[in-house]
Structure formats: C-alpha cells, structure tokens
Structure 1
Amino acid sequence: MDDPIEFHRELLAEVRSDADAQGLITSEAFLEKMGEILDEAGELSSFTQCYHDGAFKRKPVQVDAFAWDFEDEEGSLSLVISDFHRESEPVTIGKTEANRLLSRLVQFVMASLDREYREGLEESSEAYALADLIRRCWKKIGKIKLILVTNAINKAKTDAQPVGKIGDVPVTSNVWDLGRIQRFVEAGQTREDLVIDFAEDFGEAIPVLRASDGGGPLESYIAVIPGGQLAQIYDRWGARLLEANVRSFLQARGKVNRGIRDTIVKDPAMFFSYNNGLTTTAESVEVASIGEGLFLMSAANFQIVNGGQTTASIHAVRKLAAEQLKDVYVQMKLTVVPPDRSETVVPSISQFANSQNKVNAADFFANHPFHIRMEEYSRRILAPIGDTGYREHKWFYERARGQFADERGRRSVAERKSFDAMFPKNQFFTKTDLAKFENSWRCKPHIVSFGAQKNFAELAKVIGQEWGDNDGPQFDELWFQRLIAKAIIFRNLERIVPAQLWYTGGYRANIVTYAIAKAVHDAAARDRSIDLDQTWRMQRVHVELERALLVAAEAANDVITNPPQGVRNMSEWAKKQACWAELAKRPVAYQSGFDAVLIDPDSLRAVSRDNRTARRQLNGIEAQREVVNQGGDYWSQLLAFGKSIGKLAPKEAGILQACTLLPNRVPSEKQCVAAVAIADRLEQYYDNAN
C-alpha cells in the first residue's frame, strides 16, 4: 500500500478497535501498539508505559514510556514521548515541534536528578519508579535515546541525531512518524535511510580491495577499519547496526566478551591477528579511486551480519581505555546486497560467516525450515467454523515482515474482500507473536517479559534443538493447530483483562503471559493438560477456561504489582525468575469447572499418535499413486542411473527393483514412500550433472 492516507485510516481503525477491546483511550492504544513495533524493530527492548507530565523550573516535563535493560552493558536508556492525532487525514509535524516535544523528555531526566522534584512524585507511580531508576543508575547510563512516536508525517532528518549531552551522557533523538511506521509494517524497514559517511562524519575514508569482478552476482570488498572509527560509528547508531537476527542473539547471550576486551586493553597491536573480523552488508556504496587505490567513502543501510560481539566490545573499551584503540584494526568483508535480495542473501551470509561467538543455523530463523513449514500450514489449513462462525477461514503466519500487506495489496478490490474474509486481520500473527504464545505455554513468562526480540531469540534456540537433524517431525499440522489455539487463548485474555475490577492499569502484557503460564503449571500439577484441541474446534475460549485464566490473572497481577522489599520497578521484577517462582507456588482457588477444560496427558498423546498414523497412511497412499503413475520403465531407468553413479545402497536398489515390476506387481505403501524419496535425491544428482 503506497498511499499514506489509506494506511493512516487503517492504522486509526486498528487503534480504535484495540482501544475499544481493551478499555483504553485511543492515545494509550496507539502507544501500546508503538511499543510492540519499537520492540520488534530492535529500537528498544522491555518497553514500559509510564505516563507523566508536569513542570520543572518552569519548563514542561513529559514522559510516556521508557526502556531500560539492567543486563545491558551499554547502559542505553530509552525515553518515549507520544504525539497522537485523532484526525482522519494525517497531519504534518515540523522540526521545531518535534524538538519541542523531545525537550520535555530531557527535562524529565533533569527533574529526576533533582531530589525535591523526585520526592514530590507519588511513590507508587511509574513516574517515581523511573525517576528513582535514573537517579540510582545514573553512573551506569551510557547513552540516552529520546524517541518521539507520532501518526503525523515528519519530513526532517531524524534518525539517531546527536543532540548533545546531559552531564557526561550523550543524547540522541529519533522520530517514528507515520511514514516510518508504514515502511516497517509493510516492508520491515526498521531504519530511515542510514547512510554512513566514513570520510565526512567519521574521520576518514576506508581503503578497500575489490573482491568481485563485473560478472559476479554481488559486488564485494575487503577492508581494514580502524577500531576507533568503528567504535565511533557504533556509538552513533548502536545495536541497530547489527542485522536483526545477530542483534537478537547477541542480546540473548548476555555480557560483552571479556576476552576481546582484554586483548584490546593489554595487547592492542595483536587484535588484528587474533580477531576474525566483521562480515557486513550494505544496500549501496560509494567507492572512489584516490591515488593508487580504492576508498570506501560511504555505505547506505550498512549492517554488521557477523562480528557484533567484536563491535560491541570495541565500543565498550572506548569508555575504559580509548587511547588503546589507536592501535586496533579490524578486517572487514563488505557485500553489497540490493534490497530485493536481502531477505534471502543476508541470513545466508550470517549463517556461513566465521564468528567468535558461534551462532548455529537455527539462529537465522526467518528462513529456517520451521518457519517455512508454519507458513505453508497457515496458507493451507482451514480453521473450523466453530460454534459461533459462519464460514471457514485461515490464520495468516507472517514469516517475513511485510508478507501480509504485500499479499493483500497486490490484489484487486474484489479479490481483497475475498482475501480479508479468508484471512481476517485479527488472525494475522508474526514470528515474535508465535514466540510469545509458545513461551507463555512453556511456563517462561519472565522470558516473555523481556520483550519481543529477546523472547524470540530464546525460543529460536530451543526450537532449533528440538528440530534436530530429523526435520522436527513433531512440528506437524496438529502442532500448528494447537499453536493457533494458544493464540486464541492469549488474545482473548489480552482483551478481557483490562475490564476486570482488580485491574488498575499497566502491566497487561506481563499479567497475560504470567496467567497463562500459571494455568498451564497448575493443570500439570493435577497431572492434566489444558485441552487445546477443544479450543481449536470451537475457535474460541471455553467459558470455564476463561474463568480459570482470570483467576490466574488476578493472582499474577498481585504478584507483579507487589514486588519484594527493595524492588521498585515492577517491569524489572516481572523479568526475574523469582517473580515466576513466586506465582508458580502461590495457591489459587479455581472453580470446579476448570476440570472440564482439562485433558489427561495420555489422551493428549493418543490424539498426537493417531494424527501421525493417519498422516503416514495418507502419505503412503499418495506415494503409491505417484509410483504407479511413473510406470515401470521410469523406475528401471532410475535404478540404472543410481547404480552408474554409485549412489544407491543395496536396500535402496532393492526398493527401486520392486518398482520396476509395475504394472504386474505394485510395491507396498512403505516401499513407495521410500522410492519417492530416493527418486528426489537421484534427480537432484542428475540435474547437477547436467
């Protein structure tokens, strides 16, 4: 959808719908939606709403949300201010107005460091907790990011602009306006056009060697970048320089590599010899011939797809021993990847590049077979009509950002109506949604509370292990159907929690994931499981399950909003294993109807076994049909080819021999399944040979 006016109307409709469903005012619903977008885009993590406005030294003070990761060694504090407009037509916002709003965030920081102002805040409020956090952690804060989110149109340059310092802490500003929101929602573009001008902004152009010729598929270069320059660039752009998957997994792994840091501090001249260097990409580059060599002048949308640990470590040393960086040099491989090829090429570059912090194939998850399989199921499997519906429909799984908008946008008006009926907007979900549903069910609400990217990274590692070397047979159609049931339960609880009398606002996301984990945990304590197959058949939540989840949600709310003594920040408390342990052990009085929505684990496993058996039988019938259709001559030729290249085991040759007897004798279903697999493999050999 290229039209920003139409996108704005859809955005407003979605925000109003969310507001009605959650009992919020529209500005709150807009901010909550933006929190999800900022988290998924990697702009920040652990987004927490925190409404406050006032005045400090006669200047306006305002903050609407913040993000602070206590495990982040970079010490990046993000402060968010929202500017929401209810007009149906998008308005514009100028640089002066944007700066006026962002300055209110600066004033809040200044006010937080003032004891009199801080102690004048309500001690139980989020504003007090944030002000106290800023005061207590001031020495740990390495950078402050000011973020303005708005549904207005802003045309000024706004991406990671340096705006000075508060004390010794550098401050940057950023604006997410309507255009940028649209680019992310429809195409996954998280950045403005990020252009790194090495010569103009960061000291000097970088000498490079061309590593590709004119006939190669991609333009590529080899370079050596000074450590000080790399640290300077990272200081400006931060983790957004890191390709999304690398960023997620670097965050999930924890602290900056101390070995890299020690080498820089103690023996900087040897860093080049010891370090594997960087693998980077850019959408376009400017390379100039100066004197006897080539120099990289600038790179557009530059991304580090391997070497994030190295980059972050060098940046950390900049604060501790900046003088050592003058002797540090880092080798860099740069590949120019056009935007239309980035989705397929960049993850492959990430996967196969050398890395000191080894990342397995499952980490590069957008193209992992698990995702591809879920995508295929979502396009094919019809959900039941249920007991309240009137037609079958499907759940749209977006494996790569922008797929839903693209699939819908390329259709005519009439086709779009049909698409909307088959794939309702409320039945669209992303990779990070999947991770949220699944980890809640796996009783990891404290992990979910870390935010979209970190939670996704944690689940990806586990799914990668479970997928193993045998292509994850457990992730079948039944698994997908139960995943949809988890989505239905999760979203229904999101909708009804705000309407409860005990809910006083805030922490809805934490309450929902904790409540689901609690219900699953308590069902397991009874040696039972929640009947997901019932939810799939009904396409809604059974009333008794809804009641049980609300009981669990009330207990979750009590635990989250009453942290132990000495803990003031409830969002940070929700991220701790201790918070989940506290809720898990708390007795909860469910109504007797809870048992009606539980199922014996043996019965659950029996359904899975029956499903797999039925699928194997169906596959056998289909394979037998294909073997018969090919005819005996085809199998005779394939057998001869396999023997000629020495790629058949004796057992495989015997199976193909059985197929050559057609039509006089038909092989068994099991033989046919194996024969089709052998044929696929041998045909690949034939294609490669020719």
Structure 2
Amino acid sequence: MSELEEFHRELIADIQGEADVGGIYTTEAFFERMGDILTEAGELDGADYTYFEGAGQNGVAMQVDGYGGDPRDAQGILSLILCDFQVTEEVRRLQSEHLKSRFNRMSVFLRHALREDFREKLEETSSGFMLADLIATTWPNITKIKLVLITNAEKRVKADGLPAGSIDDKLITYSVWDLARIEKFIRSGQTREELVIDFEKDFGGGIPVLRASMGDAALESYVAVIRGSQLGDIYEKWGTRLLEANVRSFLQARGKVNQGIRNTLEDQPEMFFAYNNGITATADAVDIRQTENGPLLVSADNLQVVNGGQTTASIHSARKQRPKKPKARLEEVYVQMKLNVVPSDTADEVIPNISLYANSQNKVSDADLASNHPFQMRLQEFSRRILAPKGYGKYQETRWFYERARGQYPDERTRRTDAERKKFDLEYPRSQYFNKTDLAKFENSWAGLPHVVSQGAQKNFVAFQKEVASEWKKSDKRFDETWFKRMIAKAMIFRHLEKTVPQQPWYQGGYRAKIVTYSMAKLAHDINKIKKFVDLDKVWRLQSVPEPIETAFLLAAEGSHHVIINPPQGVRDMGEWAKKQACWSQVQERKIQYPSELKEYLTTLDEAASVISEERREKAEILEVNTYLFVFERGGPFWRQALEWGMKNKLLTPAESGVLEKCSKIPKVLPSERQCAIAMKALEKLKVNGFIGSDQDEAGDRLI
C-alpha cells in the first residue's frame, strides 16, 4: 500500500469518527478539518460552514459548502468553498471535466446571489440566504473572487490560482486542494508545491540580479530590484500565500495597510526606493539566465516574502485608486529585494531565523516565530514526558501529543514499525493529539474571548500568541506542569462539548464551533464573578468531564446558542454576528441557573494556588535529591578537574572555588545540599565555556 493510499484510509476513518461523535455529516466534519488547514496555509483568512444546494435558471445545479469570511476583513477577497468528500475503498481520480462541473456550481450560486429575486425566494434564516445576502451587501467592496475545491480525491490536472474569467471586472480564480496536497501539508507542512513564479511568462519579464554569495557561502543569495507593478501583480494572484507563515501572522497582528507607505506610493513614487527598506525573500530554487546585460531571474519556486510583508501588501493595495488621491504610478516604483535560495531540507530551521534577523521597517519579533518560541519548546517537552492518569475505564496511562511544528505527529507514527506504531497509538491516542491552533481555541475560550476564537483559527492563534509572548516576557514560571495539566483539562472539556452539543434537543444544526467556545467562556465568566473556578485539577485526575460540569456547560451552551441565532435587527449573518464583541456582551449578561451539584467541582483561588505551591515544593525536593546524588556520584577526581580548570580560566568566584574544593574531597568530606546546588551552577558555567570532564557519562549530561 502506498503512503497516499494509507493516508486516504486514515483520513476517511478520522472524518467518520469526528462526524459520529459530533453528530454531524461527514462533509461538515471534512470542512471543519480542512478549514483550519487552508487557514494555516494562507489560502483563506478563515472558513465558515454554510451549506447550500439547489438549482438555478434552466435547472442548472448550484452548490456551496462555505466561505472564507467577510470579504471586508479579507482585503476584498471573496472565497467560496465546495467540498467533495466520498467514502471509497480506493483513491478516486478527479478528471478535468469533474473539476469544471464542481467549480461551475459555485459560479452559478455566486451569480444568483447577486440577484434580488433569487434571495427573496430563500428562507431568511437559512445559511444559503445569509451567504447570498453577505455577497450582495459586500459586492462593492469585493475586488477578487476565489473558488476553492477541497476533495479527498486525487486530481490529475494542475489547478492552483488559475484564472476563470470575471464578474463586473472582478477577477475569478480557482484552486484545488486534493488528497495528495492535503497529505503533503499534514505530513510535512508543505503547502505550496505549485507556487512557481514565472516572471517572464506571467509578470512582464525577468528581473536583473546580482549574485551576493561566494562559492563557499552557506546559501545562494542575490540582490535585485523589482518593479512595484510586478510585485503588485504577483501579490494579486497569490495573495497571502506569497507571505511566509510568520510574516502572515505578523501582518494580521498589526492590522491595516501602512499609511506612510501608501502616501509615498501615491505622492512620490520615484522616492520609494530611497525611503523603503525593501523586502527579503526566500525560494526553494531559482532559474537564473545569463544575458548580455548580466544575470536575469527568470523564475522562482515557492517564492516567499519573509520580511517586508507590509510593503508588499501596501503596494498591492495601491493598485486601487482612492477618492481625491492620484492613482499610484507603480510602474515608477522600484523595490529592493534580497533573495536567498534555501534548500527544502533546511527551510524549517533557516527561514524563521531569516524572518527574525532581517532588517525591515516593522521588525518581526521572536514572539512572532511561534514554532521556535521557548514556550512552544517547553509545551512540547511536557507533552512527551507527562503521563495522564488512567481515568475511568482505561487500563494504562497515556500522553497528550502536542504538535509544535506541522507534521510531527504523522512523522512520529510513520517512521515506526507496525509493532512500534501500535504501541505509539496506545501511548498517544489520536483523540489526544492537538496542535497550536487547537491550543489557542482551548485557552482563549476559557479566557473569555469566544468572539476572537470565532474569527477563525489563524486570527485567534495570533491573538493568543501575542498574549503568551507578553506573559512570558514578564515571567515564564506561570507556564509550569500544573498549567499544562489544567490546559489539558480545558481541552477535554472543549472536545467533550464538541461531541455533546450536537446531541441536544435545542441544537438546530450549524454554529457548533461557535456555541462550544461561547459556552466555555460563559461558564468560566459566571463562576469567576463569584470568585470561584472550575476544579480543573480534578478533571485532569479523572481524565473525563463529571456530569455536573457537563450539565453546567450545556446550560451555558443553550444560552449562547439563543444569543447567536437571534442577532440584533439588521444583522442577518449569525456566523459574522458571533465574531463581534457585542455578541459576547449579550451572552455575558444572560442569566443562567446552574445545578447545585456544580459547587462540588468548584475551587477558590487560594485552593488552586496551593496546588501549584505543593507541586513546586515536591519538584524542588526531587531536584535537591537528584542534585545531591549527581554531585556525590561524580566523585572527588572529577570535581578536582573542574576546580583546576575553572581557576586556570579565571571563571570561578571565591565561594564557588571553596565549594568545588570541598567536593573534590568526596567521599571523605560530604558537601551540604546548598553546596551541591552551588557546585551544579558552577559546573553549568564551566561547561558553557568549554569544560569537559574526563569521566562524564550520559546520565550526567542529561542532568546538567
């Protein structure tokens, strides 16, 4: 069985399982899974499920499964999504005629949505009406239309960002995310295998470059000057997919287009090169042609702007003329570009560092480099080490697998033998896997930000990441093992609600994700008002959600559901309503009578703090014992080496020298626990400066 066939079976099993426990159709479960993937990949700004199927004039079929959020919040881009998910034994093949018919269904719906007589025939509470109404309302703001097909079939034709005509001079493009592309993203994070920038063929000609690297350089590098009109055209086609993921998050965190850059483009285009720092880009590979006038950049595979995203987006925005302002003369604008060719096998390590260190007008801080942030590294370490209790009905302890970087979980499974894989699946059940965007949903829901969670996985993660970076800078002590266990308790509650909410008699279908995040935020908010907290430590120990807690959350869910499906007058789209602070304010004000049994599962701030203090005390005691054993087992000769080496290199303080002198006399003299701690700190300092003891062993290295 090929890897693609194996992935096909795993994907179908996962989607069927998610649909069964959530009480939803497989197509909706597939849409939810793919919505997060397409958002993370930069294909969409978000994904909202709004299924509609019908027939237009002359019986022509129309269908749409969702859209990519309000175009006014997505740079004027309207994205329509169609799902093609089927349960089959073999991998289906998707031919060009099948693609055409599916994209035609979305196109027919789009054209009908603009007709008032069509909208009037639809039920106002239906998802089809709400999407059609959103399209009609925002049509003046829409500048581009993207039709996206997501399918678990394998396509045999190239279809990524291809032009498909226009409506009212608004360009339409279509893209396909097929099984092979989904598999590549999930397993390795590679999303842009088809993003090839052909400057000569598609964007007005090659770009003159100067080689900026010698023969022994680590990377092949070039310096170039690209016309603003070219850069704007490239961004017009590929949008935020042109921006490396960290830069994309960076732009989302900082909002609108830079006004200063826009003014220069409109008023002094000839000075743009002098005023602007330019862009830094990477590519997997480049085609350089030697000409009479020097080398020419003809094409670039997977071109990514890793610094200068604000400049790129501003130039693209300036293509559209503003009232009472001169039209930007982008053909007179020139932008400096530093281009590094980064081999794919080192891209994950090198590109984030380029993003961090490259000089730009708005520097991307290390807080934006989510995968490499110390918080992320610590969380991964916790997830690989901390065992979850057995819980009721389980016969062994397990772990919760945190995927810090895309593809870690499938990679850990596939590189094992069949026997090892079975053991891995028992230790890390698929239901106990979560990634960065999942983490942000759990935490921001509990933190009272359901309207932010409802805005989509990527925007919510940016908000969460910013808050974590701020807290981490103040002190990283908060993010300890107790915090991790409580976060997992929130994850268990969140996922339990995902299963139980669709089973409630009041649930009308749709908006499950929004109801879940609102219900978590609502109960946490109400309990906090009486200075209490849900006992997450008890949930962690039980590895399940007790019935009184479940009942309370479902009451909060019902109340949230009522507010979400009853937006104020003039607001028709319930999905967009749930993204507003005003919606959360109404949910907060709603009165709910919780069961009296809930009090048995509540705790106070002092009680919650005492758990942390006790765990830290126990951890400190264990560390003291381990430190004492380590110092003693090293023996006197080792500490004599350390003392002499430290004295020779003038690295030891008098106090450290005295302690190491005492340690050098082990076992005749036994240092105290405090002295052992000083010896360990001194040894760390010596090792950083190059000391290597002759009798160190692997165990000692790990302790150090």
> Could you tell me the TM-score, scaled by structure 1's length?
0.96
| Mapped partners of 1:469, 1:578: distance in 2 | 31
Q: Which amino acid aligns with 1:447?
A: V
| Mapped partners of 1:650, 1:105: distance in 2 | 77
- 1:52–1:127 Cα contact (<8 Å) kept: yes
Residue of structure 2 in register with 1:94 after alignment: 95
- 2:632–2:667 Cα contact (<8 Å) kept: yes
Residues 1:425 and 2:426 aligned together: no
Residue by residue, what CA displacement relative to the aligned partner does 1:16-44 show, whole Å, maximum 9, x if unpaired?
11111111222232222222322232221
Q: Which secondary structure state, in structure 1, belongs to the residue aligned with residue 689 of structure 2?
A: helix
Residues 1:598 and 2:602 aligned together: yes
The structural deviation recorded for 1:664 is 3.9
- 1:159–1:191 Cα contact (<8 Å) kept: no
- 1:46–1:69 Cα contact (<8 Å) kept: no
Are residues 653 and 519 of structure 1, via their aligned partners in 2, closer, same or farther at CA, if it must alter by over 3 Å? farther
Q: How does 1:662-681 map to 2 (within 5 A)?
A: 662-681=666-685
The structural deviation recorded for 1:613 is 1.5
Q: Which secondary structure state, in structure 2, belongs to the residue aligned with residue 53 of structure 1?
A: strand
Q: Which secondary structure state, in structure 1, belongs to the residue aligned with residue 337 of structure 2?
A: strand
- 1:45–1:69 Cα contact (<8 Å) kept: no
Q: Which secondary structure state, in structure 1, belongs to the residue aligned with residue 690 of structure 2?
A: helix
| Mapped partners of 1:674, 1:159: distance in 2 | 61
Q: 1:349 aligns with which of 342, 349, 354?
A: 354
Q: 2:448 aligns with which of 443, 450, 457?
A: 443
Residue of structure 2 in register with 1:554 after alignment: 558
- 2:72–2:138 Cα contact (<8 Å) kept: no
| Mapped partners of 1:639, 1:425: distance in 2 | 51
Are residues 650 and 103 of structure 1, via their aligned partners in 2, closer, same or farther at CA, if it must alter by over 3 Å? farther
Residue by residue, what CA displacement relative to the aligned partner does 1:122-173 show, whole Å, maximum 9, x if unpaired?
1111211111111111111121110011111102111111112111111110
Q: Which secondary structure state, in structure 1, belongs to the residue aligned with residue 340 of structure 2?
A: strand
| Mapped partners of 1:38, 1:415: distance in 2 | 32
Q: Which secondary structure state, in structure 2, belongs to the residue aligned with residue 147 of structure 1?
A: strand
| Mapped partners of 2:91, 2:678: distance in 1 | 60
Q: How does 1:307-386 map to 2 (within 5 A)?
A: 307-320=308-321, 323-386=328-391
Q: Which amino acid aligns with 1:368?
A: H
Are residues 599 and 457 of structure 1, via their aligned partners in 2, closer, same or farther at CA, if it must alter by over 3 Å? same
| Mapped partners of 2:671, 2:274: distance in 1 | 61
Q: Which secondary structure state, in structure 1, belongs to the residue aligned with residue 361 of structure 2?
A: coil
Q: Which amino acid aligns with 1:551?
A: L
The structural deviation recorded for 1:408 is 0.5
Q: Which amino acid aligns with 2:446?
A: W
Q: 2:465 aligns with which of 456, 460, 468?
A: 460
Residue of structure 1 in register with 2:698 after alignment: none
Residue of structure 2 in register with 1:619 after alignment: 623
Q: Which secondary structure state, in structure 2, belongs to the residue aligned with residue 391 of structure 1?
A: coil
Q: Which amino acid aligns with 2:197?
A: I
Q: Which secondary structure state, in structure 2, belongs to the residue aligned with residue 221 of structure 1?
A: strand
The structural deviation recorded for 1:453 is 0.9
Are residues 536 and 175 of structure 1, via their aligned partners in 2, closer, same or farther at CA, if it must alter by over 3 Å? same
- 2:36–2:46 Cα contact (<8 Å) kept: no
Q: Name the stretch that deviates more: 37-46 or 656-665.
A: 656-665
The structural deviation recorded for 1:435 is 0.9
The structural deviation recorded for 1:621 is 1.9
The structural deviation recorded for 1:485 is 0.9
- 1:12–1:88 Cα contact (<8 Å) kept: no
Residue by residue, what CA displacement relative to the aligned partner does 1:475-508 show, whole Å, maximum 9, x if unpaired?
1111111111111111000000000000001111
The structural deviation recorded for 1:644 is 4.6
Q: Which amino acid aligns with 2:9?
A: R
Q: How does 1:449-488 map to 2 (within 5 A)?
A: 449-468=454-473, 472-488=476-492
Q: Name the stretch that deviates more: 413-422 or 84-93.
A: 84-93
| Mapped partners of 2:71, 2:671: distance in 1 | 63
Residue of structure 2 in register with 1:199 after alignment: 200
Are residues 628 and 209 of structure 1, via their aligned partners in 2, closer, same or farther at CA, if it must alter by over 3 Å? farther
Residue of structure 1 in register with 2:29 after alignment: 29
| Mapped partners of 1:455, 1:269: distance in 2 | 39
Q: How does 1:192-271 map to 2 (within 5 A)?
A: 192-271=193-272
| Mapped partners of 2:163, 2:148: distance in 1 | 12
Q: How does 1:162-177 map to 2 (within 5 A)?
A: 162-177=163-178
- 1:71–1:254 Cα contact (<8 Å) kept: no
The structural deviation recorded for 1:357 is 2.2
Are residues 56 and 288 of structure 1, via their aligned partners in 2, closer, same or farther at CA, if it must alter by over 3 Å? same
Residue of structure 2 in register with 1:402 after alignment: 407
Residue by residue, what CA displacement relative to the aligned partner does 1:260-316 show, whole Å, maximum 9, x if unpaired?
111111111111121121111111111121124211111111111111111000000
Q: Name the stretch that deviates more: 352-361 or 480-489.
A: 352-361
Q: Which amino acid aligns with 1:683?
A: K
Residues 1:630 and 2:634 aligned together: yes
Residue of structure 2 in register with 1:185 after alignment: 186
The structural deviation recorded for 1:651 is 5.4
Q: Which secondary structure state, in structure 1, belongs to the residue aligned with residue 635 of structure 2?
A: helix
| Mapped partners of 2:417, 2:223: distance in 1 | 46
| Mapped partners of 1:572, 1:148: distance in 2 | 22
- 2:642–2:691 Cα contact (<8 Å) kept: no
The structural deviation recorded for 1:628 is 2.4
Q: Name the stretch that deviates more: 507-516 or 383-392.
A: 383-392
Are residues 290 and 392 of structure 1, via their aligned partners in 2, closer, same or farther at CA, if it must alter by over 3 Å? same
Q: How does 1:104-115 map to 2 (within 5 A)?
A: 104-115=105-116
- 2:49–2:510 Cα contact (<8 Å) kept: yes
Are residues 650 and 347 of structure 1, via their aligned partners in 2, closer, same or farther at CA, if it must alter by over 3 Å? farther
Q: Which amino acid aligns with 1:240?
A: R
Q: Which secondary structure state, in structure 2, belongs to the residue aligned with residue 686 of structure 1?
A: coil
| Mapped partners of 1:259, 1:659: distance in 2 | 64
| Mapped partners of 1:262, 1:632: distance in 2 | 71
Q: Name the stretch that deviates more: 406-415 or 623-632.
A: 623-632
- 2:308–2:360 Cα contact (<8 Å) kept: yes
Q: Which amino acid aligns with 1:377?
A: F
The structural deviation recorded for 1:527 is 0.8
Q: Name the stretch that deviates more: 425-434 or 52-61.
A: 52-61
| Mapped partners of 1:657, 1:149: distance in 2 | 69
The structural deviation recorded for 1:359 is 2.4
- 2:72–2:141 Cα contact (<8 Å) kept: no
The structural deviation recorded for 1:473 is 2.0
Are residues 681 and 346 of structure 1, via their aligned partners in 2, closer, same or farther at CA, if it must alter by over 3 Å? farther
Q: Which secondary structure state, in structure 2, belongs to the residue aligned with residue 173 of structure 1?
A: strand
| Mapped partners of 1:385, 1:118: distance in 2 | 54
- 1:71–1:255 Cα contact (<8 Å) kept: no
| Mapped partners of 1:354, 1:176: distance in 2 | 35
Are residues 650 and 99 of structure 1, via their aligned partners in 2, closer, same or farther at CA, if it must alter by over 3 Å? farther
| Mapped partners of 1:467, 1:642: distance in 2 | 33
The structural deviation recorded for 1:676 is 2.4
Residue of structure 2 in register with 1:153 after alignment: 154
| Mapped partners of 1:485, 1:24: distance in 2 | 24
Are residues 657 and 205 of structure 1, via their aligned partners in 2, closer, same or farther at CA, if it must alter by over 3 Å? farther
The structural deviation recorded for 1:377 is 1.3
Residue of structure 2 in register with 1:137 after alignment: 138
Q: Name the stretch that deviates more: 161-170 or 489-498.
A: 161-170
Are residues 589 and 216 of structure 1, via their aligned partners in 2, closer, same or farther at CA, if it must alter by over 3 Å? same
Residues 1:12 and 2:12 aligned together: yes
- 2:249–2:368 Cα contact (<8 Å) kept: no
Residue by residue, what CA displacement relative to the aligned partner does 1:315-358 show, whole Å, maximum 9, x if unpaired?
00011265511221111111111111111111111111122223
- 4+ residue segments displaced more than 6 Å: none
- 1:146–1:172 Cα contact (<8 Å) kept: yes
Are residues 95 and 474 of structure 1, via their aligned partners in 2, closer, same or farther at CA, if it must alter by over 3 Å? same
Q: Which amino acid aligns with 1:251?
A: Q
Residue of structure 2 in register with 1:518 after alignment: 522
| Mapped partners of 2:334, 2:679: distance in 1 | 55
| Mapped partners of 1:537, 1:492: distance in 2 | 16
Q: Which amino acid aligns with 2:246?
A: N
**Identical-residue share of aligned pairs (%):** 51
Residue by residue, what CA displacement relative to the aligned partner does 1:388-417 show, whole Å, maximum 9, x if unpaired?
211111111111111111110011111111
The structural deviation recorded for 1:670 is 3.9
